[in-house]
Amino acid sequence: MYTKHKWESDRWFNFSYVKYLPADYDESKTYPLVVFLHGAGERGDDLDVACRHGLMKRVREEGKEYPFIYIAPQCPDGKYWGCYTESLLAFLDDMMATLPVDPRRVYLTGLSMGGTGTFMLAMADPDRFAAIAPICGSGIYWYGEALKNIPTYMVHGDLDDVVPLAESVNMLRSIHRRGGKAGLEICYGVGHDAWNVAYGDDRLVNWLLSHKKI
């Protein structure tokens, strides 16, 4: 199960966050790290709400176990992940310094507002992540150059009327034009909640874990 924490910093925004540790957790070993950015509907000060979608939904409802450390910070009401790019990177620095993380296996994923945040955070520090998986997020496709060296896997519903599918399509094309590796899974007949497909089984997790920085 996950535990709830508060990150304290004198310089950066102090995130509340959820931490999940694998069943075989041993501080003498190193583990992959998956960082999750929630959507706009999960903002606030209730960490259970921040975990109602994504990988922790399966942990809560199915008792699912994962072989990695999972960290999910919470964004405050009325704000967006883009407001906290530098704070998120400092937060991640501290998580990696205090937890037994394999620095070659750090992954980033998020949905909706968090999908957009995934693009933005990876663009801010392209060398940090082994792979990213933005779900139904808005792409910053004019800056696709920054993602050309990061394996990227997007999932988007074709009936999404909140963040149009074109956002992921344009991001895909932008990365490809620059020689990068990106894929897009289009969920036909699905609206904005493509996260139920993306996180509903182990395919996305297995894809992330298949990548490692050299």
Residue 41 sits in a domain whose CATH number is 3.40.50.1820
For residue 214, is it within any domain?
no
Q: How many CB atoms lie within 10 A of CB 23?
A: 7
pLDDT of residue 66: 97
Q: Which structure tokens are listed for 83?
A: 């407001």
Q: Residue 98 phi/psi, 5° resolution?
A: -110, -10
Residue 27 to residues 98, 100, 198, Cα–Cα distance (Å): 10, 6, 30
Please spell the DSSP secondary structure of 99-121, one letter per residue: S-EEEEEEEEEEETHHHHHHHHH
For residue 43, is it within any domain?
yes
Domain count within the chain = 1
For residue 61, is it within any domain?
yes
Q: 106 has which bridge partners?
A: 33
* Residue 204 structural domain: 2-209
Q: Which structure tokens are listed for 119?
A: 């693009």
27: number of CA atoms within 13 Å, CB side?
3
pTM summary value: 0.96
Q: What is the pLDDT along the chain (214 residues), one digit of tens a residue?
A: 789 999 999 999 999 999 999 999 999 999 999 999 999 999 999 999 998 999 999 998 999 999 999 999 999 999 999 999 999 999 999 999 999 999 999 999 999 999 999 999 999 999 999 999 999 999 889 999 999 999 999 999 999 999 999 999 999 999 999 999 999 999 999 999 999 999 999 999 999 999 999 8
For residue 200, is it within any domain?
yes
For residue 38, is it within any domain?
yes
Is the CB of residue 208 less than 8 Å from the CB of residue 177? Answer: no
